[in-house]
């Protein structure tokens, strides 16, 4: 089966998946005990006000009708509003979601860019000095809780050394690059605004680094283990025997084989990092989806909850599809299907 | 002896293991002259592969350790070469193929990628080959293009039909026999002096075996190759080789032209070996039929390692390692029945 057909099928399968996901979230958010309207209207609100609010949000309708009209809205681009702030969910998501996505992507890229070479070097010098160094460093960073490391780095690098800002995505007094993707690093490059790029980079560096530590350790470990396993394969000896230089054997022939296992770990980590981002966002005052999501779920603000769930669902499905496509590119024996 | 291409002298190889030091090679002597096709036979575990891998220095050390001996290639001791220059040596002078053609090709790269690399890196003057990312340079593209036509030529040489098309395939799209041909082409890309083949046909079925052996034979004539062919199979030796060396527990115990070895085996072990071949057929060489067990390598028998199983054992066999005794021209046996220099 060719790639285009495969992709078409995978995207078609997204539809029932998202339908199921939305149904499930919808049901759960309505079955949870508690009265969101009561919470939103406040303790002093009269019954009339509560009723008006209920009517305004369509909550007086039977549940199936509510679900259908919500889904119709979703398809038309109207994802509802927050019960509290009356802010449009789509509008809020378009602000918060790119911030979280950028942080997570930066962390994944950092973890890969540092973890893969560290794993390769560890495997080449296994049980020698460089391997021990890599092991100690990664043990060090995974052994401390991320929030603690985050605060230490924030204090040391931000407050005392003054090397990086202590929080936020961009200085409050400056306007961010014109929004295209919502990822400041990308948007600033698109606008050819390199000053904005370096400012955005400066802001994201420490939060992304702290967020990446867990993933960094696991990527290093899996790359090392996988490299060691592949280095024992017959084709490595064969390539060496006919005089292929070691750097080609390792950097080209072995690494591609080993990277298949690494890829699995990277895509798994993507999900964990997205969840872990909430904590980091709190510490670094990062205007991401984390706080929005926490507020929404604590107050049973169901339309934001639904919106967040759907966006995450789509994102994870996309990561999965991308990963599967990448497997197929790396390994010709894998048939799409 | 001056024309010897490869002359291994008294090679000792040990491995550190949890149970102690395994004396895997204990004085291997082996001579290949230019143009020889020499078969190396012996029971499983006797050290054939280790001998072969010691030549290009592909044994990892540690746990391995060469404690004594020389590997003279064109008179130069390879063991004295700096490690860093071995890659160049392998590229220019050596080709090597192994038992299982399926696991010896990289599954993730096309035949083109692997064969073109073999061609490029085995060329005498190539230090660094521009990778894909610099492939836009005209010089790099030209280089890869030339290497590719050479690769197609090599595929033709080893008898792969439709080379221009099949070069784009991945290894899993090839049959076992065709994969071994690809590996032979890769080994020959640098026009090596010596081809080492470690049981190149054991993993293939019988008809394919014969084709591959015929191919190797024909390449010897076409390219003036020297071949070290490792096999379990005396039939293969009889059909393919000019000379044969018999190994037993880390030593070569007899080396002779094929004819002499089959007609006048000198060493009692070789005699047992020849007798064990079913009569009237040389196509299947069993190495069974000699009473006793293969010796342990950590605590091997003193003196001649075969003496506990030897039907003609002498008193000093248990204490002295026998040196080479000449049986005829080019025919040596390492046995006290044939005293040194006699
Ligand atoms: N890393 C190692 N540590 C300890 N012993 C080893 C190691 N590698 C090989 N050996 C031993 O060396 C001996 C010789 O192995 P080798 O592979 O050369 O045998 P062989 O003659 O090629 O056998 P076969 O016909 O089965 O291929 C074997 O007994 C093996 O157990
Ligand atoms: Mg072997």
CA distances from B21 to A115, B12, B25, B297 (A): 37, 12, 12, 8
Q: Give the pLDDT of residue B1.
A: 45
Q: How confident is the model over A185-238, as pLDDT tens digits? A: 999 999 999 999 999 999 999 999 999 988 999 999 999 999 999 999 999 999
Q: Tally A–B CB contacts below 8 A.
A: 84
B187 touches chain A (CB under 8 A): yes
Q: What is the rounded CA–CA span in Å between residue A210 and residue A213?
A: 6
pLDDT band for position B111 (cuts 50, 70, 90): very high
Q: How confident is the model over B255-308, as pLDDT tens digits? A: 999 999 998 898 999 998 888 766 544 444 444 456 666 777 888 888 888 988
Q: Averaged over A60-69, what is the pLDDT?
A: 88
Question: Does the pLDDT value for residue B138 go beyond 90?
Answer: no
Ligand 1: residue whose CA is nearest its atom 6: B15
Query: Which residues 241-260 in chain A show a CB within 8 A of chain B?
Result: 241-246, 248, 252-253, 256-257
Q: Give the pLDDT of residue A303.
A: 87
Q: How confident is the model over B27-75, as pLDDT tens digits? A: 899 999 998 999 999 988 899 999 999 999 999 888 899 999 999 999 8
ipTM (interface pTM): 0.88
The residue that leads in pLDDT, B185 or A174, is B185
Q: Give the pLDDT of residue B252.
A: 93
Q: What is the rounded CA–CA span in Å between residue B254 and residue B327?
A: 10
pLDDT band for position B134 (cuts 50, 70, 90): low
Give chain B's mean pLDDT.
Answer: 86
Least confident of A148-162, B97-111, B160-174: A148-162
Q: Averaged over B298-326, what is the pLDDT?
A: 86
Q: How confident is the model over A77-109, as pLDDT tens digits? A: 888 888 888 889 999 999 899 999 999 999 999
pLDDT band for position A125 (cuts 50, 70, 90): very high
Query: Which residues 224-253 in chain B show a CB within 8 A of chain A?
Result: none
Nearest bound ligand to CA B50? 1
Tell me, in angstroms, the distance from the centre of ligand 2 to residue A62's CA: 76
Name which of A126, A127, A228, A241 to mutate to probe chain B: the one with the most chain B Cβ atoms within 10 A of its Cβ: A241
Q: What is the rounded CA–CA span in Å between residue B205 and residue A147?
A: 62
Q: Averaged over B82-86, what is the pLDDT?
A: 88
Our mutation pick for probing the ligand 1 site, out of B14, B25, B43, B46, counting the most ligand atoms within 8 A of Cβ, is B46
Question: Does the pLDDT value for residue B179 go beyond 90?
Answer: yes
Q: Averaged over B246-253, what is the pLDDT?
A: 92
Q: Give the pLDDT of residue A114.
A: 94
Q: What is the rounded CA–CA span in Å between residue A101 and residue A89?
A: 17
Residue B295 backbone phi and psi in degrees, to 5: -70, 150
**Which one, of B328, B326, B321, B291, lies nearest residue B336 by Cα?**
B321
Q: What is the rounded CA–CA span in Å between residue B18 and residue B31?
A: 34
* pTM of the predicted structure, to 2 decimals: 0.87
pLDDT band for position A53 (cuts 50, 70, 90): confident
A240 touches chain B (CB under 8 A): yes
Q: Give the pLDDT of residue B38.
A: 94
Ligand 1: residue whose CA is nearest its atom 31: B45
Long-range contacts of the stretch A76-81 (C-beta < 8 A, 24+): A79/A303, A79/A306, A79/A307, A79/A310, A80/A303, A80/A304, A80/A306, A80/A307, A81/A57, A81/A303
Q: What is the rounded CA–CA span in Å between residue A207 and residue A154?
A: 8
**Inter-chain residue contact A237 with B98, CB threshold 8 Å:** yes
- Percent of chain A at pLDDT exceeding 90: 41
Give, rounded to a whole angstrom, the gap between the first and last alpha carbons of chain B.
18
Per 3-state DSSP, chain A is made up of helix, strand and coil in percentages (nearest 5) of 75, 0, 25
Tell me, in angstroms, the distance from the centre of ligand 1 to residue B250's CA: 9
Q: DSSP for A78-116?
A: ---B-TTT--BHHHHHHHHHHHHHHHHHHHHHHHHHHHH
Tell me, in angstroms, the distance from the centre of ligand 2 to residue B45's CA: 7
Q: What is the rounded CA–CA span in Å between residue B65 and residue B306?
A: 24
Long-range contacts of the stretch B164-168 (C-beta < 8 A, 24+): B166/B111, B167/B110, B167/B111, B167/B112, B167/B115, B168/B110, B168/B111, B168/B112
Token code pair at residue A309: 């769930």
Question: Does the pLDDT value for residue A49 go beyond 60?
Answer: yes
pLDDT band for position A300 (cuts 50, 70, 90): confident
Name which of B106, B114, B126, B134 to mutate to probe chain A: the one with the most chain A Cβ atoms within 10 A of its Cβ: B106
Q: Averaged over A243-269, what is the pLDDT?
A: 93
* Domain over A96-287 is classified CATH 1.10.3720.10: yes
The shortest C-alpha distance from B247 to chain A (Å) reads 23
Q: What is the rounded CA–CA span in Å between residue B37 and residue B229?
A: 7
Q: How confident is the model over A5-41, as pLDDT tens digits? A: 888 988 998 889 889 999 998 888 888 777 778 777 7
Helices and strands in chain A, H and E counts: 14, 0
Q: Averaged over B132-147, what is the pLDDT?
A: 72
Cβ(B295) – ligand 1 distance below 6 Å? no
Q: Give the pLDDT of residue B62.
A: 82
Cβ(B45) – ligand 1 distance below 6 Å? yes
Q: Averaged over A157-182, what is the pLDDT?
A: 86
Give chain A's mean pLDDT.
Answer: 89
**Which one, of B271, B226, B284, B300, lies nearest residue B45 by Cα?**
B300
Where are the domain boundaries for CATH 1.10.3720.10 in chain A? Answer: 96-287
Question: Does the pLDDT value for residue A61 go beyond 90?
Answer: no
Query: Which residues of A fall within a CB distance of 8 Å from B109?
Result: 253, 256
């Amino acid at each position: 089966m060719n790639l285009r057909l495969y992709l078409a099928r995978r995207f078609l399968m997204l539809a029932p998946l998202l339908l199921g996901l939305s149904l499930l979230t919808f049901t759960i958010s309505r079955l949870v005990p508690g009265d969101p309207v009561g919470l939103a209207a406040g303790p002093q609100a009269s019954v009339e006000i509560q009723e008006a609010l209920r009517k305004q949000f369509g909550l007086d309708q039977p549940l199936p009708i509510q679900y259908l009209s919500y889904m119709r809205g979703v398809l038309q681009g109207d994802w509802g509003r927050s019960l509290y702030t009356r802010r449009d969910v789509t509008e809020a998501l378009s602000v918060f979601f790119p911030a979280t996505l950028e942080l997570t992507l930066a962390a994944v890229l950092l973890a890969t860019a540092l973890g893969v070479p560290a794993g390769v070097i560890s495997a080449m010098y296994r049980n020698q000095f460089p391997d021990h160094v890599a092991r100690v460093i990664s043990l060090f960073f995974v052994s401390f809780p991320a929030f603690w490391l985050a605060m230490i780095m924030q204090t040391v690098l931000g407050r005392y050394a003054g090397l990086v800002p202590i929080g936020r995505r961009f200085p409050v007094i400056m306007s961010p690059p014109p929004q295209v993707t919502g990822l400041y690093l990308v948007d600033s490059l698109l606008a050819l605004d390199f000053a904005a790029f370096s400012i955005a980079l400066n802001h994201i560096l420490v939060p992304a680094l702290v967020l990446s530590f867990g993933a960094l350790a696991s990527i290093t470990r899996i790359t090392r283990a996988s490299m060691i396993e592949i280095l024992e394969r017959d084709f490595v000896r064969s390539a060496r025997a006919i005089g292929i230089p070691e750097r080609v054997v390792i950097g080209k022939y072995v690494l591609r084989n080993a990277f298949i296992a690494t890829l699995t770990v990277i895509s798994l980590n993507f999900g964990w990092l997205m969840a872990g981002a909430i904590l980091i966002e709190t510490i670094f005052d990062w205007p991401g989806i984390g706080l929005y999501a926490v507020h929404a779920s604590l107050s049973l603000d169901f339309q934001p909850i639904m919106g967040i769930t759907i966006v995450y669902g789509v994102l994870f499905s996309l990561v999965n599809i991308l990963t599967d496509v990448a497997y197929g590119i790396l390994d010709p024996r894998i048939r799409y299907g | 002896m001056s024309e010897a291409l490869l002359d291994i002298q008294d090679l000792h190889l040990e491995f550190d293991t949890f149970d102690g030091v395994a004396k895997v090679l204990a004085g291997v002597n082996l001579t290949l002259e230019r143009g020889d096709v020499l078969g190396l036979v012996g029971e499983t575990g006797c050290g054939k592969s280790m001998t072969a891998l010691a030549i290009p220095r592909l044994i990892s050390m540690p746990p391995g350790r060469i404690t004594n001996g020389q590997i003279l290639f064109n008179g130069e001791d390879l063991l004295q070469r700096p490690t860093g220059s071995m890659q160049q040596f392998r590229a220019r002078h050596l080709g090597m193929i192994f038992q299982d053609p399926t696991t010896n090709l990289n599954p993730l790269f096309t035949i083109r990628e692997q064969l073109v690399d073999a061609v490029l890196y085995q060329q005498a003057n190539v230090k660094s080959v521009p990778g894909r990312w610099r492939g836009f340079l005209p010089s790099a593209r030209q280089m890869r293009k030339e290497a590719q036509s050479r690769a197609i030529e090599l595929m033709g040489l080893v008898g792969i039909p439709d080379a221009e098309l099949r070069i784009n395939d991945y290894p899993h799209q090839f049959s076992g026999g065709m994969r071994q041909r690809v590996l032979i082409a890769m080994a020959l890309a640098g026009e090596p002096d010596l081809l080492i083949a470690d049981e190149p046909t054991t993993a293939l079925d019988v008809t394919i075996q014969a084709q591959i052996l015929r191919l190797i034979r024909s390449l010897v004539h076409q390219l003036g190759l020297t071949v070290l062919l490792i096999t379990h199979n005396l039939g293969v030796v009889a059909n393919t080789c000019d000379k044969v060396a018999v190994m037993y527990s880390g030593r070569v115990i007899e080396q002779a032209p094929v004819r002499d070895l089959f007609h006048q085996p000198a060493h009692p072990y070789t005699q047992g070996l020849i007798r064990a071949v079913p009569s009237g057929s040389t196509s299947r060489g069993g190495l069974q039929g000699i009473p006793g067990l293969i010796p342990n390598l950590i605590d091997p028998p003193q003196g001649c390692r075969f003496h506990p199983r030897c039907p003609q054992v002498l008193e000093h066999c248990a204490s002295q390692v026998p040196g080479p005794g000449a049986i005829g021209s080019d025919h040596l046996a390492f046995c006290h029945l044939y005293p040194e220099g006699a």
